[in-house]
């Protein structure tokens, strides 16, 4: 995705400095799975920043956050979506074609305090060759089907590919149905999640579709004028475990300093509900593109993830929130 202006992220980093502490390196994975490679990182605890930044709706509580700090050449950068895999696991994808998985570390109160067992692997092209070009590997969305298959949406070369079960990934992905819409190069399918009988896809500049192997049906038509970066655009989507709908993360950027994120519910008909989480300066904010949801202790637990664009002035943040 398009990086924010460096000035905005510099200010955000300075804001965060007062409420971050180093947690140290994550615990190593006990045994890498075939095809996966261990990756190292340092983790820093993250709060919501200075007062006046984050605004949480009634019934929403912050449940901890971490920053992932990795070497400049590490694949643990530019992470653009995530989904939960059960048992404390998560999987995320980068917009250069890397797949990453890890385990959530929670404290005795259930707050997010770290990530362990980072493993990475390169996604492959239809012929089984590893992705090497940005134009082929600009992955922006993830979904895990009811049968456990991993779906990945890409932009530039707009497509959704099925890589099979996460624990037995295929090197020869299968093409899945995508909306018959002329997405522009860098404004493709950002939101991807399971839906009854298939998957739901959301375009960054507008439009929501429900797809199955046979067809894609328009839920919300794309606007005549594409939604610009200066307005809130959907960048992540996951099923709402508590209701018949979805959870959505949106991002907005207005130069030089106004970088924001919203989390809202989406109804089956595509209507967006009230803002549940509003992140902006002088609080913790960044390029949030991923969202995942689950039920934990009778509440909905949300995780949102930011894409640092391999930009040293941005950060890879994972924040947790609980909803009544």
What does the pLDDT look like over 99-142, one tens digit per residue?
A: 999 999 999 999 999 999 999 999 999 999 999 999 999 999 99
pLDDT at 52 over 80: yes
What H or E segment, with its residue span, contains residue 137? helix 134-137
pLDDT at 9 over 60: no
Per-residue confidence band for 257, with pLDDT thresholds at 50, 70 and 90: confident
Tell me what the mean pLDDT of segment 17-45 comes to.
65
pLDDT in the model for residue 256: 87
pLDDT at 26 over 70: no
pLDDT in the model for residue 12: 44
Q: How far apart are CA 211 and CA 123, in angstroms?
A: 23
Which residues, 6 or more positions from 83, have their beta carbon under 8 angstroms from its beta carbon?
Answer: 90, 91, 92, 142, 143, 144, 238, 292
* DSSP percent split of the chain into helix, strand, coil, nearest 5: 5, 50, 45
> CA 277 → CA 53, 68, 109, distances in Å?
11, 21, 21
Is the bond leading into 282 cis (omega within 30 degrees of zero)? Answer: yes
Q: How far apart are CA 107 and CA 103, in angstroms?
A: 13
Tell me what the mean pLDDT of segment 235-264 comes to.
95
pLDDT at 246 over 60: yes
Per-residue confidence band for 23, with pLDDT thresholds at 50, 70 and 90: low
Q: Residue 87: is it exposed, middle or buried by C-beta count within 10 angstroms (0-12/13-18/19+)?
A: exposed
In 3D, which of 181, 286, 187, 276 has the Cα closest to residue 233? 187
Tell me what the mean pLDDT of segment 275-297 comes to.
97
Domains in the chain, please, with CATH? 6-28+37-323 (2.120.10)
Report whether 264 contacts 248 (CB < 8 A): yes
Higher pLDDT, residue 212 or 11: 212
Q: Determine what percent of the chain is predicted with pLDDT higher than 90.
A: 86
Q: How far apart are CA 134 and CA 79, in angstroms?
A: 14
In 3D, which of 233, 229, 230 has the Cα closest to residue 220? 233
Higher pLDDT, residue 28 or 14: 28
Tell me what the mean pLDDT of segment 56-71 comes to.
98
pLDDT at 16 over 50: no
pLDDT at 24 over 50: no
Tell me what the mean pLDDT of segment 14-43 comes to.
60
Mean per-residue pLDDT of the chain: 91
């Amino acid at each position: 995705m398009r990086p924010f202006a460096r000035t905005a992220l510099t200010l955000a980093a300075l804001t965060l400095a007062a409420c971050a502490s180093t947690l140290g390196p994550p615990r190593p994975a006990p045994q890498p799975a075939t095809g996966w490679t261990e990756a190292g990182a340092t983790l820093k605890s993250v709060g919501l920043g200075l007062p006046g930044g984050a605004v949480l709706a009634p019934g929403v509580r912050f449940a901890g956050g971490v920053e992932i700090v990795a070497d400049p050449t590490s694949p643990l950068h530019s992470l653009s979506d995530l989904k939960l895999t059960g048992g404390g696991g998560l999987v995320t994808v980068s917009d250069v074609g890397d797949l990453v998985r890890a385990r959530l570390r929670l404290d005795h109160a259930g707050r997010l305090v770290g990530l362990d067992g980072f493993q990475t692997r390169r996604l492959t092209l239809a012929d089984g060759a590893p992705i090497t070009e940005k134009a082929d590997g600009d992955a922006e969305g993830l979904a895990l089907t009811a049968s456990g298959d991993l779906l990945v949406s890409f932009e530039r070369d707009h497509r959704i590919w099925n890589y099979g079960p996460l624990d037995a990934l295929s090197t020869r992905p299968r093409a899945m149905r995508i909306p018959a819409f002329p997405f522009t190069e860098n404004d493709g399918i950002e939101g991807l999640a399971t839906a009854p009988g298939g998957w739901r896809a959301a375009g960054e500049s507008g439009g929501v579709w429900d797809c199955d192997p046979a067809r894609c049906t328009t839920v919300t038509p794309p606007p005549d004028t594409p939604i610009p970066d200066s307005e809130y655009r959907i960048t992540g989507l996951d099923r709402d475990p508590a209701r018949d709908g979805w959870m959505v993360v949106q991002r907005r950027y207005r130069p030089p300093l106004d970088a924001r994120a919203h989390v809202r519910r989406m109804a089956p008909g595509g209507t967006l509900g009230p803002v549940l989480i509003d992140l902006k300066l002088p609080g913790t904010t960044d390029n949030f593109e991923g969202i995942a949801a689950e039920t934990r202790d009778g509440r909905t637990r949300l995780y949102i993830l930011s894409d640092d664009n391999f930009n040293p002035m941005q950060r890879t943040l994972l924040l947790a929130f609980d909803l009544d």
